[in-house]
Amino acid sequence: MKKLLQPRLLAAAALAAGAAPATAATAVFFAPTTPYLSSADIPAGFYAGGLPTLLETLEDGSLDATLSASRGSLIGPGAFNGTRDSVDGDDGMIDGSCGPQATVCASWFDSSGSLGLRFTFIGSGALPTAFGVAWTDASPGASVTFSATGLDGQSLGSITVSGLADNSVSDTTAEDRFFGVTFSGGVQSIFISTSSGGIEVDHIQYGAMAPVPEPGSWALLAAGLAGMAGCKRRHTARA
Ligand SMILES: [Ca+2]
Ligand SMILES: [Ca+2]
Ligand SMILES: [Ca+2]
C-alpha cells in the first residue's frame, strides 16, 4: 500500500551557496503525488503554454540530439518484455501497462539506481527554464532523489520522495511520477537516482517555464488594491 506523499508542489531553495544573487529567482521543484500516465499529466503551471519544447518519449528509438545521458541506455520493443516500463500512454492506451508490445513502449534504464541518471541539455541557444522526467520504476521500497544544475554546474537543489516504488519490477504504471524543476536562470541538467536496485525513466522533457509572479508584484498589487479600497472609503465618506 502506498502512503500519502509530500504536498503536490514541493518548492525548494535554489541558489548555490556563494552564488551571486543576481536575481531573486528561485528554483521550484515539482513532484506531483498523482501518477504520470501521459503528457497530459504534466503539472499545470510548469511550462509556458502547458507544453514542452521537447518531449522525448523514446518511441523514435533514440535520445534526442539536444540531450546527453550520463549512464543507461534505451530499451525498446523486444527487450525486457514484461519488465520494460514505459509511460502508460505511449501505446495509445491508458490501461495500466506499457512494455510488452512489439512495436512501442521504449524507456531508459540503468542497472544502478544509486549512480543515477543525469540528462544534460547540449543543444544550441539558451538553456531551458523548465526540465523534467517521468520516473517509471525502481526496486521495491527504493526512494527517488531528483536534483538539477543551472549554468556552470550551479546546484539548484534537490528533493527526495520515498514510498513511491511498488512491489513490482514489471511495467506497472500507477506508481509512475513526474519530477521537474523550473528556474528562470536556466536549467543545464537534471539528475535522478534511486536508493537501491536499478532505475527506469521516460518522457525526458524541457521547455520554457510558465511565468511566475514576482513577490514584488504581489506586494505592489496588494498595495494597489489597498489604495483603491482607501479611495473608495474616502469617496463614500464624502458622498
Ligand atoms: Ca498503455
Ligand atoms: Ca516511452
Ligand atoms: Ca512503473
Report CA-CA distances (Å) from 35 to 18, 66, 103.
37, 27, 24
Which residues, 6 or more positions from 54, have their beta carbon under 8 angstroms from its beta carbon?
64, 66, 67, 204, 205, 206, 207
Going from the Cα of 175 to the center of ligand 3, the distance in angstroms, rounded, reads 5
* Nearest ligand to residue 37 Cα: 1
Domain boundaries, the chain: 9-208, 213-239
Other CB atoms within a 10 A radius of the CB of residue 51 amount to 13
Q: How would residue 6 be classed by pLDDT, with cut points 50, 70 and 90?
A: very low
Going from the Cα of 124 to the center of ligand 2, the distance in angstroms, rounded, reads 25
Report pLDDT digits (tens) over 62-89. Answer: 999 999 999 999 999 888 888 899 999 9
Residue 30 in contact with residue 11, Cβ under 8 Å?
Answer: no
The beta-strand segments (E) located in 15-63 are 28-30, 54-56
Mean pLDDT throughout 167-184? 93
For the cut 90, the answer to whether the pLDDT of residue 25 exceeds it is: no
Going from the Cα of 90 to the center of ligand 1, the distance in angstroms, rounded, reads 6
Architecture, CATH, for domain 9-208: Sandwich (2.60)
Q: How would residue 3 be classed by pLDDT, with cut points 50, 70 and 90?
A: very low
Q: How would residue 7 be classed by pLDDT, with cut points 50, 70 and 90?
A: very low
- pTM for this prediction: 0.81
State the DSSP H helix or E strand holding residue 70, giving kind and residue range, or none if neither: none
Going from the Cα of 88 to the center of ligand 3, the distance in angstroms, rounded, reads 9
* Nearest ligand to residue 137 Cα: 3
- What cell does 65 get? 540530439
Residue 152 in contact with residue 186, Cβ under 8 Å?
Answer: no
* Nearest ligand to residue 173 Cα: 3
Residue 73 in contact with residue 201, Cβ under 8 Å?
Answer: no
Q: How would residue 170 be classed by pLDDT, with cut points 50, 70 and 90?
A: confident
Other CB atoms within a 10 A radius of the CB of residue 175 amount to 19
pLDDT at position 82, please?
A: 84
pLDDT at position 216, please?
A: 64
pLDDT at position 201, please?
A: 97
Question: Pairing state of beta strands 130-138 and 73-75?
Answer: unpaired
pLDDT at position 81, please?
A: 85
| CA atoms within 13 Å, Cβ hemisphere of 143 | 9
For the cut 60, the answer to whether the pLDDT of residue 13 exceeds it is: no
